[in-house]
């Protein structure tokens, strides 16, 4: 994909997320791998609703900022996914309301954050790891992702927001939307004896769709 098109796609998808209330104000950040091995990253303090394709932070393949504005303070998160997952072509981080709410629930599963309510989060995300609370911008967030050794495509930062890596920008955005939708469903049925997918149904999905599903 030409870099000009990639820049425009990043801003278009980010605006779509913003317009539908999946992250607000100047929250959230997005990045994508360029054809030459570098990165395009949303700048610090910018709104997903008003990203400028020409001002995205541009890194070369050695991780040096060569053009654009200063990048998001969450670069450690993005770098951790790219360094540990060779399949990562894009990373998205949102401050999405329902997933943050679910992260505050005392019974949220740290190893498998999302309950198996529909097939789609399983297919797009595999198991989502719930990480503890970190101060915004703390490099320890990146260290926590590196500690997963590339085994997860998505993490949930407690009291903060989800982070998802995908093969490209569209895939990463689709997956993080599924994460938020599933968390919203979980909040809607909380306290109700809702029928979730059975363990056998989950395993069938994992097998049929070749889902990363570490034990």
**pLDDT tens digits, residue range 156-211?**
999 999 999 999 999 999 999 999 999 999 999 999 999 999 999 999 999 999 99
Q: What is the mean pLDDT of the chain?
A: 97
pLDDT grade, residue 214 (50/70/90)? Answer: confident
Predicted local confidence at residue 215, as pLDDT: 60
Ranges of each domain in the chain: 3-208
Contact (CB, 8 A) for 69 and 85: no
Q: Is 74 known to be catalytic?
A: yes
For residue 61, which phi and psi values (nearest 5 degrees)? -70, -5
| Angular region, 28: left φ>0, alpha ψ -120 to 50, beta rest | left
SS3 131: strand
Of the listed 3, 74, 170, 180, which one is catalytic? 74
pTM above 0.95, yes or no: yes
Contact (CB, 8 A) for 74 and 29: yes
Give the other-Cβ count within 10 Å of 197's Cβ.
Answer: 16
Predicted local confidence at residue 1, as pLDDT: 80
Of the listed 8, 82, 110, 120, which one is catalytic? 120
For 36-91, what is each residue's pLDDT tens digit? 999 999 999 999 999 999 999 999 999 999 999 999 999 999 999 999 999 999 99
Q: Is 82 known to be catalytic?
A: no
Q: Which CATH superfamily is domain 3-208 in?
A: Class II aldolase/adducin N-terminal domain (3.40.225.10)
Give the other-Cβ count within 10 Å of 124's Cβ.
Answer: 22
pLDDT grade, residue 13 (50/70/90)? Answer: very high
Query: Which helix (DSSP H) or strand (DSSP E) does residue 30 occupy?
Result: strand 29-33
């Amino acid at each position: 994909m030409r870099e000009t098109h990639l820049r425009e796609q990043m801003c278009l998808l980010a605006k779509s997320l913003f317009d539908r209330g999946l992250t607000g104000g100047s929250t959230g950040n997005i990045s994508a791998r360029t054809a030459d091995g570098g990165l395009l990253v949303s700048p610090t303090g910018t709104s997903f609703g008003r990203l400028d394709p020409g001002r995205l932070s541009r890194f070369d393949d050695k991780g040096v900022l060569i053009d654009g504005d200063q990048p998001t303070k969450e670069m450690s998160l993005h770098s951790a996914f790219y360094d540990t997952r060779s399949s990562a072509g894009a990373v998205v981080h949102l401050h999405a309301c329902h997933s943050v709410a679910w992260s505050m629930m005392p019974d949220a599963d740290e190893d498998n954050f999302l309950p198996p309510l529909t097939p789609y989060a399983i297919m797009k995300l595999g198991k989502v790891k719930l990480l503890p609370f970190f101060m915004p911008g703390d490099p320890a967030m990146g260290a926590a992702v590196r500690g997963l050794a590339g085994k997860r495509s998505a993490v949930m930062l407690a009291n903060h927001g989800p982070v998802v890596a995908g093969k490209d920008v569209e895939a990463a955005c689709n997956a993080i939307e599924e994460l938020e939708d599933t968390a919203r469903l979980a909040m809607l049925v909380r306290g109700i004896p809702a029928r979730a997918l059975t363990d056998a149904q989950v395993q069938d999905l994992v097998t049929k769709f070749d889902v990363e599903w570490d034990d």
